[in-house]
């Protein structure tokens, strides 16, 4: 059984932060669950371009207000507490936060741990990330 407290992840390598978001990676590939789970905060007033070409993601909003805009259709979906959205077609999108958005996110395949979006909003494949981790070791 795996039991973790958010407070134990803060300020560790599982606490990945960028200019527009902070992702606390509660479960990762190494945990062997077949998916990863994260508590992510999208910072108020920001827009993040995301395109998970290599992953499927489901997101549940716990707190805050924002929106998802699909690219290129321009469809916009409001996000408020209690909203679930699933990027089941590797949807290219913008994520905008009106207030800080606190989200619970799951990824399939599971993230390795330190992924951040590349210039196209993409996370590397798990295989690419494992190779990078091995090269850094």
Terminal Cα distance for the chain, rounded = 28
pLDDT above 90: residue 65: yes
Instruction: Please give the model's pTM, rounded to 2 decimal places.
Output: 0.91
- Position 129 scores a pLDDT of 80
pLDDT bracket for residue 135 (50, 70, 90)? confident
Rounded distance, CA 70 to CA 82, Å?
A: 20
Residue with tokens 């998970």: 52
In tens, the pLDDT along 31-43 reads 999 999 999 999 9
Domain boundaries along the sequence of the chain: 14-136
Provide the CA 121 distance to its chain's centre, in angstroms: 11
In this structure, the number of other CB atoms found within 10 A of the CB of residue 92 comes to: 19
Query: What is the structure's pLDDT at 88?
Result: 94
Give the confidence band of 96 by pLDDT, cuts at 50, 70, 90.
Answer: very high
What would the pLDDT profile of 7-37 be if each residue is shown by its tens digit?
A: 999 999 999 999 999 999 999 999 999 999 9
Alpha carbons 13 and 36: distance in angstroms, whole number: 15
CATH class of 14-136: mainly beta
80 half-sphere exposure, CB direction, 13 A CA radius: 1
Joined together, the tokens standing for residue 36 give: 């990863």
């Amino acid at each position: 059984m795996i039991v973790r407290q958010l407070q134990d992840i803060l300020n560790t390598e599982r606490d990945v932060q960028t200019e527009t978001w902070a992702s606390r990676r509660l479960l990762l590939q190494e945990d062997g669950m077949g998916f990863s789970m994260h508590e992510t905060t999208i910072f108020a007033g920001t827009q993040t371009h995301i395109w998970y070409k290599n992953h499927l993601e489901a997101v549940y909003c716990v707190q805050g207000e924002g929106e998802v805009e699909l690219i290129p259709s321009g469809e916009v979906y409001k996000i408020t507490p209690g909203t679930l959205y699933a990027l089941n077609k590797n949807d290219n999108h913008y994520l905008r936060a009106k207030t800080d958005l606190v989200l619970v996110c799951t990824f399939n395949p599971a993230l390795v741990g330190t992924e951040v979006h590349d210039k196209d909003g993409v996370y590397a494949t798990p295989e690419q990330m494992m190779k990078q981790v091995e090269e850094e070791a």
